[in-house]
Amino acid sequence: MEAAEACVAASPNPGLGLCGTWMVVRGRTRLLAARYKEPSQEYLFVYDCTTAGKKLHENKGEDGKSAGKSSDTILACAFSSSGTYIALTDDRKRLILFRTKPSWECLSVRLVTRRCTSLIITAAEDKILVADKSGDVYSYSIAEPEKTGTIELGHLSLLLDVALSPDDQYILTADRDEKIRVSLMRAPHNIVSFCLGHREFVSRIFVIPNYPDLLLSASGDCTLRLWEYKSGKEVHCCLLNSLNTCEATKNEKKYAVSRTTYCCEGNYIAILYDCIPAVSIFQLDADARKLLCKQHISLNHQGWDLAFEETGGLWILQEDKQAPLLLYQPVDGQWQSVIEEKRLIKMSKYLHDNWTVFEDSVGKGSCYQNLYKASFDNMAVYLQKKEERLQQQKNKRKELQRESNGQTKKVKPEGPSL
CA distance 242 to 415: 91
Q: Give me the pLDDT at residue 399, please.
A: 78
Segment (H or E) for 349: helix 342-353
- How many angstroms separate the CA atoms of 235 and 215, rounded? 10
pLDDT of the residue at 6:
30
**CB atoms < 10 A from the CB of 370, how many?**
10
Q: State phi, psi for 303 to the nearest 5 degrees.
A: -85, 150
**Cα 21–chain centre separation:** 25
Provide the 10 A C-beta neighbour count for residue 208: 18
User: Backbone phi, then psi, for 104, in 5-degree steps?
Assistant: -65, 130
- pTM (two decimals): 0.84
How many residues would you count in the chain?
A: 418
Helix (H, G, I), strand (E, B) or coil at 239: strand
Task: Report the amino acid identity of residue 311.
Answer: T
- 405 SS3 class: helix
- pLDDT, tens digit only, all 418 positions of the chain: 333 333 333 348 899 999 989 999 999 999 999 999 988 888 999 999 999 875 544 446 565 565 556 789 999 999 999 999 999 999 999 999 999 999 999 999 999 999 999 999 999 999 999 999 999 999 999 999 999 999 999 999 999 999 999 999 999 999 999 999 999 999 999 999 999 999 999 999 999 999 999 999 999 999 999 999 999 999 999 999 887 644 545 566 778 999 999 999 999 999 999 989 999 999 999 999 999 999 999 999 999 999 999 999 999 999 999 999 999 999 998 999 999 899 999 999 999 999 999 999 998 888 888 888 876 556 777 778 878 888 888 887 787 777 777 665 544 455 555 4
> 3-class SS at 240?
helix
φ/ψ region of 117 (left if φ > 0, alpha if ψ in -120 to 50, else beta) reads alpha
What does each C-alpha distance from 65 to 57, 101, 139, 334, 335 come to in angstroms? 11, 36, 20, 52, 49
